[in-house]
Amino acid sequence: MQVVAVDGPSGAGKSTVARRLAERLGWRYVDTGAMYRSVGLAADRLGIALDDDPALDALCRRLRIGLEPDGAGGLRVLLDGEDVTGAIRQHRVSELASRVSARKPVRDAMGRFQRTLGEARPSVLEGRDIGTVIFPDALLKVFLTASDEERARRRADELRRRGEPVSFDAVLRDIRDRDRADSSRDHAPLKAAPDAVRLDTTGLTVDQVVERIAGWVAERLEHQG
């Protein structure tokens, strides 16, 4: 399977690294967190309780989530045709996403969508369970980590750049809470696949991380023949 799985906790650098890696390989970049964020946003807007599995199941079956290249290496996220790229990045949507991502019907629906995308074209998929659940036979599985403080600093910087002023301490607390929720849920908890390559990005530049992963991809492709 021509898939690179990039998993890890939030703020480990997955998005930037996965996007740049996909660009470099000429592969499709799939941000699976954006899918859960879109479902969380849609459920919230419709007043669906975030643990109402039948309603979430129905929502996921009819929702059309689009991930399109934005022409600048990133993705434009469309929810039933509406551009929600900015809306899903709001701090409060992270919490909505974390809660709906714990629900089985949501994971099943997004998993089907992710497999369809990855099977159609060589892809770099970024998420939490890509190497463990979605593509256990991925060409390469990378589990990115970084210290809690570094992850909180990156996340706070990102939110401030988007014009959302946040305190470092609040972000650090949220990151730890969300990690705990993502790692301890029953369905597809955040964990490294046994055969994933672990990479701690603390103190590394994006270029260094992309370089290293691209090297591993080249080795695997060569090995594959």
Within 8 A by CB and 6+ apart from 15, the residues are 31, 33, 126
Pick 66 or 221: Cβ nearer ligand DC: 66
Question: Which residues are within 8 A (CB) of 136 and not within 5 positions of it... i.e. 6 or more apart?
Answer: 193
Sign of CA dihedral 147, 153, 158, 159: positive
In eight-state DSSP terms, residue 11 is T
Min. distance of Cβ 208 from ligand DC in angstroms?
21
Q: What is the smallest separation between the CB atom of 10 and ligand DC, expressed in angstroms?
A: 4
- Cβ pair 151, 203 in contact under 8 A: no
Number of H helices, E strands in the chain: 8, 8
| Stretch 35-74: interaction string toward ligand DC, x if CB under 6 A | -xx-------------------------------------
Query: Stretches 79-87, 90-98, 135-143, 168-176: which one binds ligand DC (CB under 6 A)?
Result: 90-98
User: Binding pattern to ligand DC, positions 163-192, x when CB under 6 A?
Assistant: ---------------x---x----------
181: enclosing H helix or E strand: helix 168-184
Q: Which of 12, 17, 22, 101 binds ligand DC (CB under 6 A)?
A: 101
The pair of structure tokens assigned to 150 is 């570094």
Q: Nearer Cβ to ligand DC, position 153 or 221?
A: 153
Query: Applying CB under 6 A, which residues contact ligand DC?
Result: 10, 32-33, 36-37, 94, 97-98, 101, 127-129, 178, 182
